[in-house]
Structure 1
Amino acid sequence: MYQSIIRPILFRFDPEVVHETISRGLFASEPLLRHINFLFCNNSSVLSQTLHDINFTNPIGLAAGFDKYGMGVPVWPHLGFGFAEIGTITGQAQDGNPRPRLFRLPENKALINRFGFNNHGADQTAQTLAQWKRENTLHRIPLGINIGKTKIVSLDHAVEDYAYTFSRLFDYGDYFVVNVSSPNTPNLRKLQDKAFLDAIFSSLMKINREQSGSKLLKPLFVKIAPDLTLSQIDDVLSSIENHKLHGIIATNTTITRENINSRYAGETGGLSGFPLRGMSTEIIRYIHKVTSGKLTIIGAGGVFTAEDAYEKIKAGASLIQIYTGFIYEGPRFCHNLNAGLLKLMKRDGINSIKNIN
């Protein structure tokens, strides 16, 4: 019904207005979703795994960018997600880039966005998450917090900006992601250079050790662009190894427009969705190979079917994130992906998600 009736209606309206309206509706309907979550949840012990001492009941997570303000934290478990990542959160609140800044490309099953990290900032987000913690809705599923650089902060002060956000939100996230790969903040991708990464990672891991005390460190990931060369990826992996980060997210959106035939193809911003599928999977496969499977990989980019997710897991991803596919396929998308994964695993005689790659 979503694809045949609801989606065609929604796609007649401005995509960001629809996103905001649907989000508010979902957040307000949390009490109802709690009673009908059997329609969306499809957890099985076969799909469960523990990574870095965090239990994931299934491998499908919400990618950062959908819930920029952390307002949906109580809702995502009821829609079948195994984990959810909020943000990107910056040190200071910011409005992001001028509208329009989100474009649908249905002929390519894609989106282009140039949001520019619109968010409430670290302080307000901490208050939001503290509220969910008081209401016992914060950790129903693992929560990732994606952190980025405030636009008005110079590259020379980026380390302090990341450090502030990480410290301020430390108590609320199950894992954290350093976002240095969005194309929508000027010069942000320069932070993928080794010298910048080393400085950021060193600062955050120092804070991690200090605030964790005798407890386990908070898992720290970095999210990379799909447009990096293999040599650049090697530099990122070297920094990850040197500073003992826990994993990597592959990948963010791309600035390329190969084989895109939409009237919006010329819009500035990051392209997500189906055109990214092969690109991100090949990067996952490369990272898995050069790290001998020792680095935790979260795969993102172009997942529309269980086969897409399965391919990324076979390439080396332990977890999968969705965004564009969720918009195109609707609220039962998680359920369908997990059900499909179970069928594919049964077909191949695999009795645990951990045994795929």
Structure 2
Amino acid sequence: MDVYRNILRPVLFRLDPEDAHRRALATLSWMAKQPWAGQLDRWFSHTDPALEMSLWGLSFANPIGVAAGFDKNGEAIAAWEHLGFGFAEVGTVTRHAQPGNPRPRLFRLPADQAAINRMGFNNEGADSLAGRLSGQKTAIPVGINLGKSKITPLEQASDDYLYSFERLYSLGDYFVVNVSSPNTPGLRQLQQADRLGEILGRLQAANQGQKPLLVKIAPDLEWGAIDEVIDLCGEYRLAGIIATNTTIGRTGLKTAAQEAGGLSGAPLRNRSTEVVGRIWRRSGGQLPVIGVGGIASGEAAWEKIVHGASLVQIYTGWIYEGPWLVRGILKELSKRLAEAGLTQLEQAVGLAWRT
């Protein structure tokens, strides 16, 4: 990790953040196609049967996943398993291809180990993603994060989600309804119980319970609104919740951040953990949670898990800490399990509320 922090990161951080991101994806895509790609596992992976998770009929070699937003178009889908990840989530994908918001739209806040983005669901669309994923085989589960096209009125949002869901149905191991990005006008209104219920109802009617369906929520929701989403999950038989998306809050930053958009990284850590805990307690530990927000160490990942996350995802932390981060987190989780006298990671889920 010191090699990344001291040599590679300074070089990457001289580039525009979005340009650096594009180059990273292109490099990962190229690496995955090389005959020696499997050798990367020795550098970046950590195998421990105690870290395996079984959820929704899917097997996860470990609980660390790539958060949506990093690989929107599935360009590096074959690379993530060689970088130590137990699963990957592509998207957010929308029915219609769209360029997103004008650049610049991605900003680093190094003093806060954070980033602000207002990308605006830039992606090549559901049809393009279907073409790219078709015929690809991965050793890890792949989730698909679904969003609403900017040109689609809110009243027709369920049509938009349903098209992408049906188009990509056979290609994802689980699906996520993203109604929590702050960068598509009006999108967060879809977190309201009546509007979200319409979307979930239509998707589940098409799904017939065959694919795990989750919803991703914002950290800025009031507790009452979060409770309503939890109740909807029971009503519509959702598989779980992803907690959380980026925040529009700016409390406690060292950086004078004036840019609009969603804040991710270390400043989100505590609030996202609080939301994870709320979901676990209100559902009695019966509603699986994927925890995301501010995970850049094994300690932060363990914190999410013991507060109720069955799986966790990283994005901004990976940018700051580099490709050795996953291995480091997994080693720390193995250590924490041993210290707690536990034999499987699932025994640690929600532990903070049971001791």
**Structure 1 residue 234 corresponds to structure 2 residue 234:** no
Root-mean-square deviation (Å):
0.9
Residue 353 of structure 2 corresponds to which residue in structure 1?
none
> Aligned partner of 1:108: which letter?
D
Match of 2:273 in 1: 281
Q: Distance in 1 between matches of 2:237 and 2:95?
A: 24
1:334 CA displacement: 0.9
Residue in structure 1 matched with residue 101 of structure 2 by the alignment: 97
Conservation of the 8 A alpha-carbon contact between 2:183 and 2:261: yes
Q: What SS class does the counterpart of residue 291 from structure 2 fall into?
A: strand
Question: Quick one: distance in 2 between partners of 1:34 and 1:354?
Answer: 28
Tell me, yes or no, if structure 1 residue 76 matches structure 2 residue 80: yes
Asked if 1:304 is matched to 2:296, the reply is yes
Decide which of 258, 270, 279 is 1:266's aligned counterpart.
258
CA distance in 2, matches of 1:36, 1:126: 27
Q: TM-score, normalised by structure 1?
A: 0.95
The one-letter code matched in structure 2 to 1:284 is V
Provide the rounded CA distance (Å) in 1 between the counterparts of 2:19 and 2:255. Answer: 21
Query: Aligned AA for 1:149?
Result: K
Secondary structure (helix, strand or coil) at the match of 1:159 reads helix
Q: Name 2:29's counterpart in structure 1.
A: 27
1:161 has 2:160 as partner? yes
Separation in structure 2 between the aligned mates of residue 177 and residue 57 of structure 1, nearest angstrom: 21
Q: Which segments of structure 1 move beyond 6 Å, counting only runs of 4 or more?
A: none
In structure 1, what residue type is equivalent to 2:65? G
The CA distance in 2 between the partners of 1:71 and 1:220, in whole Å, is 23
1:119 equivalent in alignment to 2:123: yes
| Rounded Cα–Cα distance in structure 2 between residues aligned with 1:117 and 1:304 | 24
Q: Partners of 2:148 and 2:158 in 1: how far apart?
A: 9
- 1:4 alignment counterpart: 6
The residue aligned with 1:65 is 69
* CA–CA separation in structure 1 for the residues paired with 2:40 and 2:102: 38
Whichever residue aligns with residue 217 of structure 1, its letter is Q
Q: How does 1:207-226 map to 2 (within 5 A)?
A: 207-209=206-208, 217-226=210-219
For 1:244-259, list aligned pairs within 5 A. Answer: 244-259=237-252
Find out whether 1:41 has 2:45 as its counterpart.
yes
- 1:131 & 1:242 partners in 2: Cα distance? 35
Q: Cα offset for 1:127?
A: 0.4
- Kindly provide the CA deviation profile for residues 63-101 of structure 1, in whole angstroms up to 9, marking residues without a partner as x: 000001011111000000000000000000001001000
Deviation readout 1:15-60 (Å, 9 max, x if unpaired):
1000101110111011233223211111211000110100000000
Q: Distance in 2 between matches of 1:131 and 1:100?
A: 35
SS at match of 1:96: coil
Aligned to 1:212: none
Counting matched residue pairs gives: 345
Q: Deviations over 1:189-234 (max 9, x none)?
A: 000000111100000000101xxxxxx6100000000000000001
Q: Which runs of 5+ in 1 are unaligned?
A: 210-215
Partners of 1:311 and 1:350 lie apart in 2 by: 16
Identify unmatched segments of 5+ residues in structure 2.
Answer: 350-355
Query: Which digits, 9 at most, give the CA deviation of each residue in 1:125-147, with x for residues without a partner?
Result: 10000142xxxx3x310000000
Equivalent residue letter for 1:295: L
- How far 1:245 sits from its partner (Å)? 0.6
Aligned match of 1:213: none
Read off the aligned partner of 1:180 and give its amino acid letter.
Answer: V
Deviation at residue 259 of structure 1 after TM alignment: 1.2
The AA in structure 2 aligned to 1:25 is T
Partner residue, 1:319: 311
Distance in 2, Cα, partners of 1:260 & 1:36: 36
1:172 is displaced (CA, Å) by 0.3
CA distance in 2, matches of 1:22, 1:71: 11
Identity over the aligned pairs, expressed in percent?
49
Asked if the contact 2:51–2:63 (Cα under 8 Å) also holds between the matched residues in 1, the reply is yes
C-alpha separation in 2, matches of 1:237 and 1:197 = 12
Q: CA deviation at 1:5?
A: 1.1
Q: State the one-letter code of the partner of 1:317.
A: A
Instruction: Tell me the CA shift for residue 11 of structure 1.
Output: 0.8
Counterpart-to-counterpart distance in 2, 1:131 and 1:111: 34
- TM score, norm. by length of structure 2: 0.96
- Contact in 1 for aligned 2:180/2:216 (Cα 8 Å): yes
Match for 1:333 among 325, 338, 349?
325
Partner of 1:344: 336
- Give, in whole Å, the separation in 1 of the partners of 2:17 and 2:225: 34
Contact 2:94 2:125 in 1 (8 A): yes
Measured in 1, the distance between the counterparts of 2:96 and 2:48 equals 40
The CA distance in 2 between the partners of 1:157 and 1:43, in whole Å, is 45
The answer (yes or no) to whether the contact 2:40–2:83 under 8 Å persists in 1 is no
